[in-house]
Structure 1
Amino acid sequence: MTLSLATPGAASLLAAAQETLPHSSSSGRLVAAMLVGIAVIVLLITRLKMHPFLALTLGSGVLAAVAGVPFDKLTSSFTTGLGTTVAGVGVLIALGAMLGKLLADSGGADRIADTILSRSGPRSLPWAMALVAAVLGLPLFFEVGVVLLIPIVLLVARRGNLPLMRVGIPALAGLSVLHGLVPPHPGPLVAIDALHADLGTTLALGLLVAVPTVVVAGPLFARVAERWVGPLEIPERNITSDEDQAARERDGVRVPSFGATLATILLPVVLMLAKALCDVVVDNPDAMAQRIFDFAGSPLVALLAAVLLGMVTLGRAAGFTKARISTTIERSLAPIAGIVFIVGAGGGFKQTLVDVGIGNVIADWSDSWHISALLLGWLVAVGIRLATGSATVATVTAAGIVAPLAAEMSSTHAALLVLAVGAGSLFLSHVNDAGFWLVKEYFGMSVGQTFKSWSAMETVISVVAIVLILLLGLVV
């Protein structure tokens, strides 16, 4: 199975690359183009201090030049990838920023942070953050979970006087592990369908692998990342400053209750989880119940509903006027404008890699490998993840490549193959992954610090997970 191209101009771009390059040399040249493009991006950002948006755009041009792809085809692919990413992830980031600003200005985020701090000591706080992130991340897309948890993570780090990495890494690990290994996330669901695995078995084994993986990559690795990254200044974005707190006290602002705040945050979680359960239980696209939950449980609608609810349960509950709520919403968008464009450029670079056929090269190479099916699924997903930056694309493509191997497997081993592919899809997030830039900008880190923390954490997750999966394959 070859990589399915996701955009209208993708087929023409791939055809142009194949026509330009002789078949015998196309694979090596495409891989070289990918490596050179990534190296140029890293060099421009780290050495020349160029803005990531420009670096990603120029890196895509270098990729096209080395691969021999016409630049008019490159432009179509890059802009399509940028537009698709901004339309999807960008809108979710904007809605999450609105909710985060409401949480911060109303004091709701303070309430959650104070509650967590009051019930967790300094030693147990990283573990508590990993648990909260894992629970919230069960039905959430990774980007949604990040924008919802960022205000809480930053506040807990500040008020607990803890290094940001010690609190942030466990939260990111909890979200990332659930995203790659546990349905109803889109990647695992597609892999389950492609490999004809049982959803319940995959969910049970996924949680069995996820728990120790989160422990190792979260609270334990956080201590290592803390030393590698060094001290970080906690960004002011989306958290309540001391001046804001003092102003609220002077104005007599009422802090929303913990229950109302938690209910507002959990609303999108509940809506998306209800959609997932309805898809499994009803499984009839024409049924009215499924149509309702498919609409209400989509990430866009679920987050929009949370923002609208937050205007009442957070803004109005804190005594905000309509004008102040409007101002709060408006101010939430300015700080994330740069993030949206950087993430969009990352999506454009990723789409360029996908469209020139890097996934096809990896698929062709995999035909000659003679290794364990579980390890093969992991390795193929790792290759596509490194090339495209997308965990979902890596999962979908790798599942299609190894699908014939699952035909003669038991339901248990088919489920393990789903998990192996999911684990590989998380390996070494780097500059062509929108999540890389999302984490970098939100935590105020440099590119090098992001590699030492986020990228290293993703690699730990992937390696620990495949080791556990291979061990399970020996005993089940």
Structure 2
Amino acid sequence: MPLLIIAFGVILLLIFIMGLKLNTFVSLIIVSFVVALLLGMPMTDIVSSIEAGLGSTLGHIALIFGMGAMLGRLIADAGGANRIANTLIDKFGQKRIQWAILFASFIVGIALFLEVAIVLLIPIIYSIAKEMKVSIVYLGLPMVAAALATHAFLPPHPGPTAVAAEYGANIGLVLLYGIIIAIPTVILSGILFPKLAKNIVPSAFTREGSASFGVAKSFKDDEMPGFGISVFTALFPVILMGIGAIVDIIKVEQVIPDNMWTDMAAFVGNASTAMVISLLVAIYTMGIRRNISMKKMMDSCGSAINSIGMLLLIIGGGGALKQVLIDGGVGDYVASIFAGTSLSPIFFAWLVAAILRICLGSGTVATLTTAGLVIPSLATMPDVNLELVTLATGAGSAIAAHVNDAGFWMVKESLGMTLKEALGTYTILSTVVAVAGLAFTMILDIFI
């Protein structure tokens, strides 16, 4: 019965979101109430369960998410992201233009959310494609591969950040391992797959893109910050969290005893602290240092927060549904089904996330809901690597982007593809990211 109730809840959510076009957050909350009642939870406990799930989820990630949005917007509005992309393209040359796009998108994608990275980079890619007389799809697929991989694997993106907290994984190690996994994944999906896709869907590679995306905010050369400072600002939270991850490894291995310096490094390397410090650094490097007024920078920050308000609520709604599943005993039920199974917890987390992603369309909701189903089974496996389970969940949440995914439509429209071409390129590409991410995660599990 619990699995049938989950299936009913998923179908109901799809009907609300896709059929009735109901707001996603509202749909999640309604479904949470319905599922809680069907699971037999006492009515007096339902509201508190939903509030606890929403509050605990937002309580951990709101700071990281909000600071990350502001950091990305400051870099973009100052021209730093344009400088990164243009410089790398100049250095790599025309023959290696895909590698330049991949590299630039990976760097920019670390600091920017998936949708923001796409909106920012598409106009630049559109201009380059026009100048070099190549298809925008030829350049666009490496871009979306890198943006999708960073979104699925790397904090401070909402999915991996939220699910790491739910599993109790070390977010610094998630970042470190995520980069190791993401690099070969984006090469496979962003460089090798497009060669195959050109044979599968050749018509897609004749597309010139939508002219509406060809109008980008233009910067004169002297208006943009330097390449070095732009990269430093975008990657500063990664540097800080990397330091925290290294300190955590040293503590586990007991190389040196705890002291004031290790405590300070752990504090600075904490994801929340790292994002606050990085935002302050960006205010100086992207603003004060370039004589941009504080009012203008704060307008950018305010705009960034306004744009993510609903997404924060959706993430909280996913947390509410996850909490209802846990409090309703679904997680325990699923765990009992797999009790004694030889199925790898890494593969199990990936499989659950993949199924939910295909059904719901939202990778973030899929990761949060997966946590509610996987957490009980992890309690019986004390030796499991929680960081790798987090990454496997992220990999599963990237699979098979299709018509119920807003990102799918964004990619389709921006690259000027037909529905069939988008299904034959981006849907398969996202599946390659998911499967490759799982494969490289399981390979890494052998060595750590």
Confirm or deny a common fold (TM above 0.5): yes
1:89 and 2:61 are equivalent in the alignment: yes
Equivalent residue, structure 2, for 1:273: 242
2: CA distance between counterparts of 1:317 and 1:94? 23
Structure 1 pair 93–418 and aligned structure 2 pair: CA distance change class (3 A): closer
Range moving further from structure 2, 379-388 or 306-315: 379-388
Match of 1:260, as an amino acid? I
Percentage of pairs with the same residue = 23
2: CA distance between counterparts of 1:349 and 1:129? 38
Residue 315 of structure 1: which of 287, 291, 295 is its match? 287
1:341 and 2:310 are equivalent in the alignment: no
2: CA distance between counterparts of 1:104 and 1:470? 35
Equivalent residue, structure 2, for 1:11: none
Equivalent residue, structure 1, for 2:125: 157
**Correspondences of 1:7-406 after superposition (within 5 Å):** 29-120=1-92, 124-131=96-103, 146=114, 153-154=121-122, 156-161=124-129, 162-163=136-137, 164-174=140-150, 176-177=152-153, 207=180, 212-221=184-193, 242=216, 244-245=217-218, 254-282=223-251, 286-367=258-339, 369=341, 371=342, 374=344, 378-379=347-348, 382-383=351-352, 386=355, 389-390=366-367, 393=371, 398-403=377-382
Structure 1 pair 334–92 and aligned structure 2 pair: CA distance change class (3 A): same
- Secondary structure of 2:396 counterpart: coil
Unaligned stretches of 5+ in structure 2?
A: 130-135, 357-364
Structure 1 pair 305–127 and aligned structure 2 pair: CA distance change class (3 A): same
Structure 1 pair 54–296 and aligned structure 2 pair: CA distance change class (3 A): same
2: CA distance between counterparts of 1:205 and 1:187? 12
Match of 2:14, as an amino acid? V
1: CA distance between counterparts of 2:429 and 2:44? 38
**Residues 301-342 of structure 1, C-alpha deviation per residue, up to 9 Å, x if partnerless?**
212222211112111233312332232322332222222222
> Shift in Å at residue 276 of structure 1?
0.9
- Secondary structure of 1:160 counterpart: helix
Equivalent residue, structure 2, for 1:3: none
Equivalent residue, structure 2, for 1:26: none
1: CA distance between counterparts of 2:320 and 2:374? 19
2: CA distance between counterparts of 1:87 and 1:455? 33
Match of 1:258, as an amino acid? F
Residue 392 of structure 2: which of 414, 423, 427 is its match? 423
1: CA distance between counterparts of 2:329 and 2:71? 39
Equivalent residue, structure 1, for 2:132: none
Please tell me the root mean square deviation across aligned C-alpha atoms, in Å.
Answer: 5.0
Structure 1 pair 149–211 and aligned structure 2 pair: CA distance change class (3 A): same
> Shift in Å at residue 80 of structure 1?
2.2
1: CA distance between counterparts of 2:52 and 2:32? 13
2: CA distance between counterparts of 1:52 and 1:184? 20
1: CA distance between counterparts of 2:5 and 2:211? 37
2: CA distance between counterparts of 1:445 and 1:221? 20
Match of 2:235, as an amino acid? L
2: CA distance between counterparts of 1:227 and 1:463? 21
Structure 1 pair 389–100 and aligned structure 2 pair: CA distance change class (3 A): same
1: CA distance between counterparts of 2:35 and 2:423? 22
Match of 1:169, as an amino acid? A
- Secondary structure of 1:111 counterpart: helix
> Shift in Å at residue 297 of structure 1?
1.3
Match of 1:83, as an amino acid? G
Structure 1 pair 341–98 and aligned structure 2 pair: CA distance change class (3 A): same
- Secondary structure of 1:389 counterpart: helix
2: CA distance between counterparts of 1:111 and 1:341? 33
Unaligned stretches of 5+ in structure 1?
A: 1-28, 194-198, 407-413
> Shift in Å at residue 275 of structure 1?
0.8
> Shift in Å at residue 264 of structure 1?
0.9
TM-score (norm 2): 0.70
Structure 1 pair 310–135 and aligned structure 2 pair: CA distance change class (3 A): closer
Tell me if the contact between 1:148 and 1:265 (Cα under 8 Å) persists in the aligned partners: no
2: CA distance between counterparts of 1:147 and 1:298? 25
Give the total of aligned pairs. Answer: 407
Match of 2:286, as an amino acid? L
Match of 1:390, as an amino acid? T
Tell me if the contact between 1:81 and 1:351 (Cα under 8 Å) persists in the aligned partners: yes
2: CA distance between counterparts of 1:348 and 1:205? 26
Equivalent residue, structure 2, for 1:6: none
**Residues 418-452 of structure 1, C-alpha deviation per residue, up to 9 Å, x if partnerless?**
85885366324599xxxx98967987989x99999
1: CA distance between counterparts of 2:147 and 2:295? 34
